[in-house]
Structure 1
Amino acid sequence: MQKTTAEDLQKCREEADRYRLLAEQSTDMISRHSATSEWVYIDVNPAVERVLGYTVDEIIGTKGYDLFHPEDADNLIKRTESVHYRRGMYTNTYRYRHKDGHYIWLETTSRTIRDDQGTPVEIICVSRDVTEREMAQRAIRRLARVVEASSDLIMFCNHESMQLTYLNESAYRTLGSEKENLVIFYLDQIFDDEIFNTLVQDALSHAAQHGTWYGSIPLKMPENHQRIAEIREVIAHRNRTENMQVEYYSIIGRDITLKRKAEEQAKRQQLEMAHMSRLLSVGEMATGLAHEINQPLAAILNYCRGSLRRLEEGSNEANLPQIAHSMQLITKQAKRAADIVKRMRSFVKRTDYQRIEFSINESCIDVVGFLNQEATDHNITFNFELDPAEPKLLADKIQIEQVLLNLLRNAIEAYSDSQQTYRPVTITTQLKNGYIYISAQDDGNGISAEGLKTLFEPFITSKSTGLGMGLAISQTIIETHGGLLWAESDGNTGTQFQFKVPVRTS
């Protein structure tokens, strides 16, 4: 047996002192514990005060097991996901109670020291406070769960290869795939070629320069996949630690299938309401329309009777020019009656939304013709101040004329309680600043300030008949065309209804 000299002992003491100095100066908490279930503190370096708030003297002899969070106390026994084993050492991440009462996150690497017979003698641990790291990781995990559960489409795209390196569940589902069956997507695969080469490239370029891009770009859906989706936002992420170059893009989209269906349903309902409103208008005008049709019919009857009398008088050649003239007049009156019926049928016909280019001046004249009998019955004089430039409007002609009809009928009815003998209704059109302005003005009694506030609310009307839906439907029609409808009145000297519609090209 080799004899230990005093010099060897001195070297051992110096080496032990160096290790103790290292332990005492370490920012990590180094501790020794009993190899029992109570995990009693036998020794600990001064870092314990910075980490747990206890002094060395306070914690020695304390049962370390009692300071574990109840949910983490048996991590090592259960071999939970937070425990890792390598080369005889366990690394465990857990919550541990601070002297102040709150819990912090510790990451501890421990080794069990055994005697020659393999019996555990003590446990040596090196622990560090990883609260900030753990909280950041948990925040990231929470964010990842939110991203994964989001109904929005969220994708990460490599800046150089254009490969989509991540898609959340909604993105996979919308693109007709499943996350379990991994499919590699590239950005150009989810757009039509023309859209990718123009809109998408512009969006990426804008995001690279300014950080983000907002807009709307339609996605290309798989065949027989009855969904509609679009990209709404692109975010460029840069490498801030190196060259500040764009590393990847976050692309955020949305499945708008239900929205589109709701919009289409709303549009169908609006068309139905507009159609019902036209039917009601014609119903209210039925007496006047019948009288207007009766006039050409009565004229036709008179011309026919006169022609028959001349024919009964014999084949006098002198009567032939008169009979021929009567035939021309009959034809003219028949055409007049047919035009009235045609205009009425066109007005009440149920149609889809159809944008066509038409003259707004001609529509104003046509609608006034439709109201000819009603205007005559109420002693109304129509005045026209139409834009000489003959502006063309790209819109649904039937719906615009429906609005005109409703406003002109309101102007006629504005004189119902008036004693005026001269009752003008002035129709004005004007092209200005990219809009066509159309107005109908009367010189009746006007509308009060309170009346103006509720004028366009549905089911509110001052008429003894009617549902009070005409102006509400008219406002909806104009707003659908991107325009605005309003009324102006001083409450005494008349009212001006006015709407503007943007001039657009097909």
Structure 2
Amino acid sequence: MGEIAAGIVHELNQPLTAALSYNQAALRLIRQQQVQEVPPLLDATVVQIKRISDLLLQFRQKLTREQRELQPVNLNQIWLRVVMLLEKELRSGKITIINKIPETLPDLLADPLWIEQILHNILANAIQAQQQNQLGSGWVAIKADQSDNGVSLTISDGGPGLSTQALQEVFMPFFTTRPDGLGLGMALTETLVQRLNGNIKVDNIKGQGACFTLWFPLNPQEL
């Protein structure tokens, strides 16, 4: 139960922090009488609050072991939503997104929130890994292809890559390289991938950064 509680804290931290930041910026603009710039910030806050609601529902279903209803999931649409959720962090680091998901890619039969959480955790880690990069030099690339009755997906970044220890332990609960990290994001990511009967691995690309490779079946068996 303690591990689940820690997982809830970890996953809720980012949208709560983002919502707080958007609201603080809105208040600042109101005090400066620049009200015309406030609505987009409030819209962004609503998106983050809805994400918190979805995450809480997800954890409730985990605790009660309710069966998730699988549905067709457009991978490109989910990726664009994740990029929007992390827009503030991407803009702050001037990180370029390279999207190579083909429009012809078939939909996955999956839980859309699980796919979103998987992609969100990987992208958030890629952003964190490039905090020491020269401003404007960071990038994250996503590529997807249909293969073996499923979809293979790679997400790579321009960071320094993972240490030998991190490559071996990145999916272990409570492993983290950040002083303020809980070390649960990638452990939860692996769990969600496996519950969709998929697989995930990570390696370094020579001269670049880390590369996560995932595979999901188009029609997973009952979870």
What does the per-residue CA deviation read over 1:70-102, in whole Å, with 9 as the maximum and x for residues that have no partner? xxxxxxxxxxxxxxxxxxxxxxxxxxxxxxxxx
**Distance of 2:72 and 2:201 partners within structure 1:** 24
Paired AA for residue 501 in structure 1: F
Q: Which has the higher contact order (CA 8 A, sep 6+)?
A: 2
**Distance of 2:208 and 2:89 partners within structure 1:** 22
Q: CA deviation at 1:295?
A: 4.6
2:11 to 264, 275, 281: 281
Q: CA deviation at 1:355?
A: 1.7
SS of the residue corresponding to residue 170 of structure 2 reads: coil
**Distance of 1:436 and 1:376 partners within structure 2:** 29
Once the two structures are superposed, the pairs formed by residues 48-447 of structure 1 within 5 Å of their partners are: 273=4, 276-284=6-14, 286-295=16-25, 301=30, 334-349=42-57, 350-352=59-61, 353-419=68-134, 421-447=136-162
Of all paired residues, the percent bearing the same amino acid is 23
Gaps of 5+ in 1: 1-268, 308-325
Q: CA deviation at 1:499?
A: 1.1
Paired AA for residue 137 in structure 2: Y
Residues 486 and 499, structure 1, Cα contact 8 Å, conserved in 2: yes
Q: 1:376 and 1:434, CA in 2 relative to 1: closer, same or farther beyond 3 A?
A: same
Q: CA deviation at 1:408?
A: 0.6
Alignment coverage as a number of residue pairs: 213
Paired AA for residue 385 in structure 1: K
Q: 1:285 and 1:339, CA in 2 relative to 1: closer, same or farther beyond 3 A?
A: closer
Partner residue of 1:11? none
Q: CA deviation at 1:505?
A: 7.6
Q: 1:450 and 1:306, CA in 2 relative to 1: closer, same or farther beyond 3 A?
A: closer
Paired AA for residue 287 in structure 1: T
Residues 22 and 44, structure 2, Cα contact 8 Å, conserved in 1: no
Q: 1:467 and 1:341, CA in 2 relative to 1: closer, same or farther beyond 3 A?
A: closer
**Distance of 1:390 and 1:426 partners within structure 2:** 17
Partner residue of 2:64? none
**Distance of 1:444 and 1:282 partners within structure 2:** 25
Q: CA deviation at 1:297?
A: 6.3
SS of the residue corresponding to residue 499 of structure 1 reads: strand
What does the per-residue CA deviation read over 1:378-414, in whole Å, with 9 as the maximum and x for residues that have no partner? 3322221112114211112212211111111111111
SS of the residue corresponding to residue 17 of structure 2 reads: helix
Paired AA for residue 396 in structure 1: D
**Distance of 2:31 and 2:78 partners within structure 1:** 32
RMSD of aligned Cα (Å): 3.1
SS of the residue corresponding to residue 339 of structure 1 reads: helix
Paired AA for residue 280 in structure 1: H
**Distance of 1:440 and 1:377 partners within structure 2:** 20
Instruction: Kindly report structure 1 stretches of 4+ aligned residues shifted beyond 4 Å.
Output: 293-299, 329-336
Higher gyration radius (CA): 1
TM-score by length of 2: 0.79
Paired AA for residue 281 in structure 1: E
**Distance of 2:113 and 2:6 partners within structure 1:** 13
Q: 1:370 and 1:445, CA in 2 relative to 1: closer, same or farther beyond 3 A?
A: same
Q: CA deviation at 1:330?
A: 7.3
Residues 133 and 159, structure 2, Cα contact 8 Å, conserved in 1: yes
Q: CA deviation at 1:446?
A: 1.0
Q: 1:276 and 1:396, CA in 2 relative to 1: closer, same or farther beyond 3 A?
A: farther
Q: 1:471 and 1:330, CA in 2 relative to 1: closer, same or farther beyond 3 A?
A: closer
Partner residue of 1:172? none
Moved more, 331-340 or 358-367: 331-340
SS of the residue corresponding to residue 213 of structure 2 reads: strand
Higher helix proportion: 2
**Distance of 2:177 and 2:134 partners within structure 1:** 19
Partner residue of 2:65? none
**Distance of 2:208 and 2:139 partners within structure 1:** 12
**Distance of 2:78 and 2:14 partners within structure 1:** 21
**Distance of 2:115 and 2:48 partners within structure 1:** 19
TM-score by length of 1: 0.38
Paired AA for residue 355 in structure 1: L
Residues 291 and 373, structure 1, Cα contact 8 Å, conserved in 2: no
